[in-house]
Each structure stands twice: as structure tokens, then as C-alpha cells.
Amino acid sequence: MREKTLFSLGGRLALCASMVRPGCRLADVGTDHAYLPVWLAKNGQIRSAVAADVREGPLQSARQNIERYEVGALVSARLSDGLDALASGEADDIVMAGMGGELIARLIGRAPWLRSPEKRLILQPMTSAEELRAFLLQEGFGVLREETAREDNRLYTVMLVCYDPALAARNGQTPAFVQRGLVTGETADGRAYLRARAASLRKRAGGLRCTQHTEEAAALEAVCSFLEREAEKGEQKL
């Protein structure tokens, strides 16, 4: 039987895949078509995976891909609202990608077993990255690595996270951490992300000035200037 050609991951999921530890047990929450666990299994990078989704429709697509690429011995599909249907021993690395940052925060908060330094979270918020970073700081989750990926002309940020209150405290000392995380201006995508964050915050500051919240506006504008300087520094190193 002819072996099926494996698909390629887009920039967003490829960056998530690069943060998964070799040989780990994976949980892919909100798996949709199970592209990430199937790809990792076919490339021999994981021991096992649970492809979880809250909806039966995407799970059916996930099952079809698991069968098509013959990874059923490693990857199973499971109906689960977040991590509710998973036990702590089933996953070392947990991916939550393609959902809003506030939802990711809620799902983490509902799974107390994630508060273990051995677990790794790979988080890719589609929106509300600031709110997610603020939640992580407050709850003692530290960001080990954060990078940006471009896909379909849109920039995404992916965070590698673990429960480490000391690291979270150090993250909190990083200038403008909530707004930019660990993203720097060392790459073209990083510079684009910083400038996009600065532009968004300047718009917000303008709104605050219109409503006479001048102190809050000035604080945001200072953050904007910092992000723009960080992007410029990265360009100057080229």
C-alpha cells in the first residue's frame, strides 16, 4: 500500500511543534483536525498524544486524519471541554492553540494539575495575548520562550510556559512584558509584532486622551515608545 504524503504545518503550528519536547506525551486542546499531533507522531517526535476538542464535528475530522495517516497506535481523539476529560498522567506537554487568550486562561485555571514544574504549556492566543500574559504572571506561570510566526500575512505569538513562580516574577520585571512578552526585535517578524503592538496601544492612548484620561494615556504612550525603540534596536543590529 502506497504511503500517503504527509502534509506540511503552517507557520503557526510549526512554531508550536518546535516547542514540543521530543518523546513527550502530548495533549492538543482544541485540536480541530488533529494536524499537530498527527504530524508529530508521523515524524517520531512524541510518545503519545490525546487530540481533544469540545465539539464532535472537529473530532470526527481528527479521527479521519488519525486513521488516514495510520497513527492510531499513538494518537487518540477525545471529546473534552478543555482539559476536563484528561488526567495529569496523560500529558507532559499541553498545546492550546487557535483560541482566545482569555479562554486559554480559563482552561488553565480549571486544571490545577498544570501547576507542576514538570509540565510544559505551549500557548498560541489568537486574541487577548495581554490578558493571557497578565493571568500567567498572577498565577505563577513563567514564560520560558516566546516567538512570533507569520501565516496568511498575520502575526501570531507562541509562548512556552511552565509553573515557576520565581520565573514568573522575573518575567514581571521585564519592561512592557504584558504587552510584548519575550518578543524582541531580533527578527523581522519580531520587529513587526512590536510595531503592531505599539500602533494598537497608541490608538488606545488616543481614545483615553479624548476622554480626558491623560495620565493613563501618557503611561501607554511611554510603553509605545519603548516598543518602537526595541524594534529600531533590532534593525540597527542588521
Tens digit of each residue's pLDDT (9 = 90 or more) over 132-175? 999 999 999 999 999 999 999 899 999 999 999 999 999 999 99
Q: Please state, in angstroms and rounded to a whole number, the distance separating the CA atoms of residues 114 and 102.
A: 17
Q: Rounded to whole angstroms, how far apart are CA atoms 37 and 17?
A: 9
- Let me know whether 218 and 166 are in one domain: no
Residues 125 and 220 in one domain: no
- Is residue 143 within 8 Å of 136, Cβ to Cβ? yes
Write the CA distances from 201 to 125, 153, 187, integer angstroms: 18, 21, 21
CB 95 within 8 A of CB 17: no
Q: Which three cell numbers stand for residue 101?
A: 487568550
pLDDT digits (tens, 9 = 90+) for 49-84: 999 999 999 899 999 999 999 999 999 999 999 999
Q: Is residue 4 part of a domain?
A: no
The domain of 53 spans 11-180
Is 227 part of any domain?
A: yes
- Do 174 and 192 lie in one domain? The reply is no
